[in-house]
Amino acid sequence: MPVNSIFGVFAKSPIKPIQMHIDKAAACSELLVSFFHASAKPDWVEAEKIRKEISTLEKQADELKRELRLTLPRGLFMPIDRSDLIELVNRQDKIANTTKDIAGRIYGRQLQIPNEIFTDFMTYVERCVDAVKQARKAINELDELLETGFKGREVDIVTEMIGELESIEDDTDTLQIRLRRHLLSVEEHYNPVDVMFLYQILEWVGQLADHSELIGTQLELILARS
Amino acid sequence: MDILAVHGETLVIFAAVVGFLMAWGIGANDVANAMGTSVGSKALTIKQAIIIAMIFEFAGAYLAGGEVTSTIRKGIIDATYYVDQPELLVFGMTAALLAAGTWLIIASYYGWPVSTTHSIVGAIVGFSAVGVGMDSVTWSKVVGIIGSWVITPLISGIIAYFIFMSSQKLIFNTKDPIDNAKRYVPIYMFLAGFVMSLVTIIKGLKHVGLHFETSNAFILAIVTGVIVAIIGKVFINRIKIDPKADKKMHFANVEKIFAVLMIVTACAMAFAHGSNDVANAIGPLAAVVSIVGHNGEIVPKSELAWWILPLGGVGIILGLAIFGKRVMATIGTGITHLTPSRGFAAELAAASTVVIASGTGLPISTTQTLVGAVLGVGMARGIAALNLGVVRNIVISWVVTLPVGAGLSIVFFYGLKNMFS
């Protein structure tokens, strides 16, 4: 006998899946550090293993994204606008996708980061991953935001986190400019096609931070609609 | 006249059985709605919820159920039309009970959340309008009842909105939410105890034969509220605050404190539900008993027979005990992200609205006030996701209930009439 109860009114919360999704995307990007270390050795067997892990995580993130979209039918009444949520998860998904592209490109061409810039390059990668982690930290406040009805002190805390995220993104820009200059000064010693791709990799890694910042602005937008 | 003299006893027993079954159905059905929020937010286990519901549903039915019963018994239809043929009223009320009960069973089978109040009111209006005449229905009263079905969810929603907002302002949005929760949660408990006991004392107890002056009633209600708050405070102080829990989720411990409050509001909700909905089962029965007892005379002012309220109360708790567990099990896990701080706001608002409305004698729909309250909390951005499609279906099932209840009761009415005459 089905129950006649009104509790069908409560729909599945989208907040948990959003948080799980950013966790996957962040785990994905964190693997880049060990991936670049492996490729610099060069230990392509190890690098391939990590690339596969990245690819698996990216697939799981896609799966979560799809599931989340399915739990957001029209006619849901939420404290967050539906299209804002979908936009948020799209931006989160770009992090996983970009990570997968970077690893795929490096592995596919067996591309080596030039020794002269390697240390700086790793600092740059780590800083970009920091941006992703900071975005994850902010997204993980969503359930607290819900608890406080998207108002008051909790909003201030999250706004502060987003400010921190922006300053990390600024750092990565500075690092990127420096790296480009550095690469310019040594590029004639390397295969021109590889160098072209190296510039592209610099850009893609930077995009991790850019996408993280965009997650932050999306979150700000969600808060501003209160 | 002869019909009542000959078959009076049979008719009363029949009505009592049907009324009891109806009460049983109400207990089996509505327990999910009355207690679901507490189970869904993990403040209570299913077993605890059933026990609380049994105690407080009965108390509500017995102590505060009289006023609504009177309305159902004599407010909806104009008794003067039945003076010459009181047996028609007896048949009609029995038919109404049968109709509402049948509809309840059908709806339960398909899982539609119908309102017991709607079905009984629809059924009473149905047999009277068709079986006796359009004029025999006190339409002004009916319009008032139907109007209350719009107004009460609205009121409940507004109250829930403000209760929720106040808990945000006083507790969640502060530097030290745990301390503030300890400070303010007992005040909510006081409110719950105060409202429940005030309405019970002023409106309910006279049907049990107790009378209080208004000033005394206030004092007594305040005392009850304070006692409830003190008991709550004792339990709150026994909660173990776990600093590790707050690392994962800042408000884990605050929600623990709200879970204690939730138990209080669950009691209030069960009480309110008992006070309002028992009348749906025993109101018509009371009418039958009164007519037969006065040998066919329809007396406007008669006391409820002593055994009627307890019969309804026992019916409700038996329905609860036998069916409730299964019903609860299906919802206990289904509600995601419903925290005690939300559930309490919805429950307290719904319970207060129901009890106040019961005090005025209006038979309102408990389910409706709860839906209104949940939407109110949603409006305050307190709930992660509400399914408005489901709300629409619920509203449709409410609207459909009226004509269906009326139709069924007309059929049963003519059936009974032919059987006994």
Q: With an 8 Å Cβ cutoff, is B27 touching chain A?
A: no
Q: Which of A163-177, B209-223, B331-345 has the highest mean pLDDT?
A: A163-177
> Are the beta carbons of B251 and A144 separated by less than 8 Å?
yes
How does the average pLDDT of chain B come out, rounded?
Answer: 87
- The residue in chain B having the minimum alpha-carbon distance to the alpha carbon of residue A152 is B173
- The answer, for B247 touching chain A at a CB cutoff of 8 Å, is no
Compare CB distances from B387 to A11, A143, A149 and report the shortest one's residue. A11
Which pLDDT belongs to residue B420?
Answer: 82
Residue with tokens 């987003």: A162
Instruction: Give this prediction's pTM.
Output: 0.89
Mutate to test the interface with B, among A1, A4, A142, A150 (most CBs of B within 10 A): A4
The residue assigned the tokens 């206990």 is B332
pLDDT one-digit tens code per residue, B243-276? 776 655 568 889 999 999 999 999 999 999 988 8
Please report the pLDDT score of residue B241 as a whole number: 81
Please check whether residue B234 touches A, CB under 8 A: no
Q: Residue B163 pLDDT > 80, yes or no?
A: yes
B136 pLDDT above the threshold of 60: yes
pLDDT grade for A94, boundaries at 50, 70 and 90: very high
Contact B337 A15 (CB under 8 A): yes
**B36-73 pLDDT tens trace:** 888 888 888 888 988 998 899 999 888 888 888 888 88
What is residue A72's predicted lDDT score, i.e. its pLDDT? 87
DSSP assigned state of A10: B
What's chain A's Rg over C-alpha atoms?
20
Spatial separation of the C-alpha atoms in residues B178 and B172, rounded to whole Å: 9
Percent of chain A residues past pLDDT 70, beyond the cut: 97
Over the stretch B372-410, which tens digit does the pLDDT of each residue have?
Answer: 999 999 999 888 888 888 888 888 888 899 999 999 999
What is the percent of chain B with per-residue pLDDT over 70, rounded to a whole number? Answer: 95
Residue A12: list chain B partners with CB under 8 A: 336, 385
Confidence of residue A95 (pLDDT cuts 50, 70, 90): very high
Tell me, what's the pLDDT at A1? 41
**Quick check: B385 contacting A, CB < 8 Å?**
yes
Model confidence pLDDT, tens digit, residues A190-223: 999 999 999 999 999 999 999 999 999 999 999 9
C-beta atoms of B387 and A13 within 8 A: no
**DSSP code of residue A14:** S
